[in-house]
Structure 1
Amino acid sequence: MEVAISAVTGELVSRFVSLLINKYHSGRAYSEEKQLKRLQQLLLRARTVVEEADGRYITNSGMLEQLNMLAEAMYRGYWALGAYSYRSLQQTPLEEEQQVSNSSPKRFCTVHGIARKNKATYHVDLQGVLESLEDVVASMTEFIVLLGGCDRMLRRPYDAYLYSDNIMFGRHVEKQKLLNFVLHHGAPGGAPAVLPIIGGPAVGKRTLVAHVCKDERVSSQYSSILHLNGDSICTIADHGSLLSGKVLVVVELVSDVDEEAWGKFCSTMGSMDRGSKVIIVSRYKNSEKLGTVKPIFLNTLPYEEFSYLFKTLAFGSVDPTQHPQLARIADELAREMQSDFSLVATNLLADVMRRNLSLQFWLSLLSRVRRFVERNFSMFGEHPQLLVQRRHQIDVSDFVMHPASQLRILPSCAAASSQTQVTEERAFLPKVRLRDLLVDPGIRPRGDFNVVSWESRLPPYASFVHFVPNGAPGVAEETPLPGRKRKSI
């Protein structure tokens, strides 16, 4: 009898525990479903406010801080929403990726901590992200009211196309600060106001300036907008008398500027009409001392924001949520590229991915990028992006997967302008897009040729052209190239 009672009791307890577990899981699923719906609603509201703010002139510094907080919370929310959609895929490794990696004829050892990125995990704190976004959105009431009183930017249809297709992405606060300087800031005593914009290579300094200079108010307020480099600032003294009205001068510094030459330049600017201004574009922090106002620092985009940009470029008009496996690969690639690669490389890779939304192809690109980094670390001891900045050769054999021979690129110096200057004898060499080499390595020309890593789709069609010598492995691996010496920042 006692045995029967014990058995019945055990069965009842087991069923009760099972019922509690089922109710817990069903309740949790329902709760997460509500959280996802709420997150989508908040993201729509946040994006609406951010886009509206991008279309108005904001001069209030407090509003700019609020806009920055809202944008950061919005990009975190979009990342969490995307990561949640492929969370179940994290339980198993990417078998296809493993197969692609193992099929490579030669593997290089992982060095300098690259493995830390290869096993990215996606723990999604949905509740935390939701609460953070709710708090920010709830505090936006005053911001929205004040935003309604800000003047609206006027854009013609072509300007709007430029705005979206030329990838002036993010930088919401930096755009407003630069506009405020150009349109409203004045310097005492007739001296020109000078604003330094400082950031690493290819973080979007020139793009930011170009975007602001295209603004209708800016172009109408200045009689001339001049673009100079550090070597040509003295020439303005010879032609200053020919300039009339307010002048906006953009000076791009690729090295330390001579103090005497800078003083002469500022003296010439001071003799021009009151209200003339100077924008300095530089990657060197010591350029801060040349400014008369607080500089604008451009850093690498945060991971969540960079991932949003990368997926926007890679998927184009396709909804990433409909392709969770591809979205996961895009996030993996964003982790690889966010801090170590330039926006030029980002555009190149995303452009190739957008043309072939194949799971196997995207997995192949992920594997190629990792092998490309590992090979250059193994051969030269540095990340390929650092090698490019120093104009040191890089090996792209793994990236392009050329079957016949090694393929090495000698980067040209694009510091002075995004339109890379090539020597006269190289200007007539065959030219191939790196994008096309990625898809079909067999199109490689015989002998020396130029490779175009990226070119813009809009005027002035700026391009980044590099040299590929025939039999590039013959170049000594340790031979320093012109421009190798790095300047202290």
Structure 2
Amino acid sequence: MPFLFILYTTCCIIFRWSEPSMESFVSAILGELTTRSVSYFVNKISGPQVDVENRLCRVLLRAQAIIDEAMVRHITSQTMLQQLRMLRDTMLQGCYTLDTFRYQSHDDEETKGQLVSHSTSLLQVSLLNGFCLSSKKRQSLRKLQAGLDNLSSMILDLEELTSLLISYPRMFRQAYSMHIMLRNCMFGRRMEAQLVINFLLHTRAHGTQDLEVLPIIGPGRVGKSTLVAHVCSDERICDHFAEIVLLRDHDFRDEWLSILRDRNCTSNKDKRLLIAIEVAEDINEDAWKMLSSASKRWVTNGTKIVITSRSDKIKRFGTTGVITLNYFSDEEHWYFFKTLTFGSIDPEQHPRLANLAMEIAKTHFRSLIGANIDACLLRDNFDIHFWYKFLAFKRQVIQNHQSKFGEHPSDALNQTRPTYLGRMGTKSEDLIVYDQYQVFSQQKVPNITFQDVVYGNVKPQGKFEILTWRSRIPPYHSFVYSFAAPSQTTLVPRRAIVGATSHDDAPPDARHADEVLRLTSGAGRTHVAACAASLARRLARTRDYVVAAKCLALAHCLVEGDPHFRLEVIRPAPSGRRAGEPLLALLDDFCDEAHSASWDHSAFVRAYAGYLNARVRYLSKLTIPLRRRRWNETVVPGNHLTDELAL
């Protein structure tokens, strides 16, 4: 560092004795000299960094070889599957760290000169940029070294596992490129799939009459149905069970009883049966006991049941544990998105595009549907200018939605809430997703696609439906969104909520209350969710017992007549001050600050909220929660899952 001190002293002497006209010229020369000096010292210490980078690449290749070998073998050991999952997670973390170091360094180079201001000399900026760059390099070196150490130690610990892999039989699989395999195969659920297969193939001792039930729980669009369909299409499962039946939603009770009666009259009554049940939330306890009793009389030993649901309440029906699915980590999501986006192209040959891809992947909020849509669009428009424009558009949509609703658009879509989107070519034109549903491959889907409307030039008028994404893997769902301009939707307006819950010390305005009830009566779950969100915002901000009491009275009317609203009342809030708690939890610590007798008023509001909460949960137990899905209208009772999986 003495050289830098001498250089800085020389600069000060020259600045003091130079003419003003020569100051900028001398500053430029000294700035360049300083930058070169800092770069020299950085390069002197970057030798170990290059070595760590190369070693990490070699270790990642070794880990990938182990995982590839495990993917083509029938592994039944749960312990070995868990170890492979840990190795895969560590490998993906190492890939993410390496990609971040490689690609974001190009972003640092592009923004190196953005700190320059009119009041700062070129010498100071050069020194600042140089030292900041060296600090980032040291931090990157520590992360690379940590990733290398973790992965190396794990591979050493799994030496015995690699030798045991040879003892498991190989599966037949065509040699595909990774991007083709990810588009046509289930990603990241190998361990969960093998756990389900082990449960289905396991046989208990004769004489046991209890049904074997495996619950699979997880949030919406996490891959529960895909996991079950993937398992049911396995040759071992098809050979093990004489019949595979899929039942869906609230009407599965009648379908189940009908299937059992029909099966009792056929020659398959003494053969194994696999029943896969998809429910939205919970299952009524009495209905489950009735169906279990009927199944014990009409099915043979060895019949298995798999239940998928978003609610963890179905855990109580499980007999052999529970499988919980979560969204992929950032590292898993980045690996999936990078592979689909670049395909057979090496990302290292396009570091600036890879850096943009990493930023775009962060906007997905770990949504696989969003990753598939964006990967297809970016692959078709492999141009850096388009990618820059696309990233700016995505960030603007997220910012606008968070300012209006306080949550990410992907979170709103997963919760079937109203979601505001825009058009890439028109800044002032907004679109709203007010409904969504799924269809199977045999059913008709809209001709207009998501890319045509949001990123293309198609401008449908009024309300319209678009094909958002078509899955290429079982159960071959197609996702359809119902779009409209905000002025054309029938969502409950805020003015109606505010008018019905005004601060006036008088009964609620009947006109506004009737408008709220009219717009939510017989409407879909998305419309009811908008009303619940408006009431939640109103309750979270008020400190007036009059407003709180009117909100509770309006909610009471909706609870008594709308099962969808009951779900929204007991559903945990995705974000905000009461994130993770239901709507009525907003009033647990309510305190009136607008009236003199605040204690009495506050106690009344809290008591009313407690009563309403108990009322909602009581009504929810009487009837199974409903979830509107249009593809239910065409489902034939007793439809076999094996028929739906046919290509």
TM-score, normalising length: structure 1: 0.79
Aligned pair 1:365/2:390, yes or no? Answer: yes
Q: CA deviation at 1:307?
A: 0.8
**Pairing of 1:420-435 with structure 2 (within 5 A):** 431-435=447-451
Give secondary structure in 2 for the equivalent of 1:453: strand
Change (3 A) 1:419 1:386: farther
Give the distance between the partners of 1:24 and 1:93, measured in 2 at CA.
21
2:16 is matched with which residue? none
1:249 to 269, 272, 275: 275
Please report the RMSD computed on the Cα atoms of aligned residues, expressed in angstroms: 3.3
Q: CA deviation at 1:312?
A: 0.9
Q: Which structure: greater helix fraction?
A: 2
1:462 is matched with which residue? 477
**Pairing of 1:389-428 with structure 2 (within 5 A):** 389-397=414-422, 399-402=423-426, 405-414=429-438
Q: After superposition, what is the alpha-carbon deviation per residue over 1:25-63, rounded to whole angstroms, capped at 9, x for unaligned? A: 556433333322222222122112112222223232321
1:84 is matched with which residue? 101
2:464 to 449, 452, 456: 449
Aligned pair 1:240/2:260, yes or no? Answer: yes
Q: Give the conservation status (yes or no) of the 8 Å contact 2:242–2:273.
A: yes
Q: After superposition, what is the alpha-carbon deviation per residue over 1:226-245, rounded to whole angstroms, capped at 9, x for unaligned? A: 11124233222222244322
Aligned pair 1:64/2:81, yes or no? Answer: yes
Aligned pair 1:45/2:62, yes or no? Answer: yes
1:107 is matched with which residue? none
Change (3 A) 1:412 1:36: same
Q: CA deviation at 1:259?
A: 1.5
Q: Give the conservation status (yes or no) of the 8 Å contact 1:420–1:463.
A: no
1:55 to 72, 84, 88: 72
The residue type paired with residue 433 of structure 2 is I
The residue type paired with residue 482 of structure 1 is G
Aligned pair 1:196/2:211, yes or no? Answer: no
Give the distance between the partners of 2:379 and 2:261, measured in 1 at CA.
51
Give the distance between the partners of 1:226 and 1:488, measured in 2 at CA.
30
1:152 to 170, 181, 196: 170
Deviates more, 1:206-215 or 1:468-477: 468-477
1:17 is matched with which residue? none
Aligned pair 1:32/2:49, yes or no? Answer: yes
Aligned pair 1:165/2:183, yes or no? Answer: yes
Q: After superposition, what is the alpha-carbon deviation per residue over 1:161-201, rounded to whole angstroms, capped at 9, x for unaligned? A: 99643341112321221221122264871322111111111
Deviates more, 1:55-64 or 1:346-355: 55-64
Q: After superposition, what is the alpha-carbon deviation per residue over 1:360-402, rounded to whole angstroms, capped at 9, x for unaligned? A: 21122221111112212223333323332443332212x5444
Q: CA deviation at 1:310?
A: 1.1
Over the matched positions of the two proteins, sequence identity in percent amounts to 31
Q: Give the conservation status (yes or no) of the 8 Å contact 1:432–1:449.
A: no
2:555 is matched with which residue? none
Q: After superposition, what is the alpha-carbon deviation per residue over 1:275-312, rounded to whole angstroms, capped at 9, x for unaligned? A: 21111111111111111111111111111111111111
1:176 is matched with which residue? 194
Change (3 A) 1:349 1:458: same
Change (3 A) 1:403 1:378: closer
1:265 is matched with which residue? 291
* Structure 1 unpaired stretches of 5+: 1-6, 8-19, 96-121, 422-426
Give the distance between the partners of 1:395 and 1:22, measured in 2 at CA.
47
Give secondary structure in 2 for the equivalent of 1:86: helix
Aligned pair 1:374/2:374, yes or no? Answer: no
2:452 is matched with which residue? 436
Give the distance between the partners of 1:156 and 1:327, measured in 2 at CA.
29
The residue type paired with residue 372 of structure 1 is V
TM-score, normalising length: structure 2: 0.61
Give the distance between the partners of 1:146 and 1:24, measured in 2 at CA.
49
Give the distance between the partners of 1:48 and 1:72, measured in 2 at CA.
14
Give secondary structure in 1 for the equivalent of 2:436: coil
Give the distance between the partners of 1:302 and 1:157, measured in 2 at CA.
27
Q: Give the conservation status (yes or no) of the 8 Å contact 1:246–1:276.
A: yes
Give the distance between the partners of 1:156 and 1:23, measured in 2 at CA.
51
Matched residue pairs, number?
434
Give the distance between the partners of 2:338 and 2:467, measured in 1 at CA.
23
2:552 is matched with which residue? none
Q: Give the conservation status (yes or no) of the 8 Å contact 1:391–1:413.
A: no
Greater relative CO (CA pairs within 8 A, separation 6+): 1
Give the distance between the partners of 2:489 and 2:111, measured in 1 at CA.
38
The residue type paired with residue 370 of structure 1 is R
Deviates more, 1:469-478 or 1:162-171: 469-478
* Structure 2 unpaired stretches of 5+: 1-5, 7-36, 113-138, 495-518, 530-564, 573-647
Q: Give the conservation status (yes or no) of the 8 Å contact 2:179–2:344.
A: no
The residue type paired with residue 324 of structure 2 is F
Q: CA deviation at 1:450?
A: 1.0
Q: CA deviation at 1:420?
A: 12
**Pairing of 1:87-166 with structure 2 (within 5 A):** 87-92=104-109, 123=140, 125-155=143-173, 164-166=182-184
1:332 to 323, 342, 359: 359
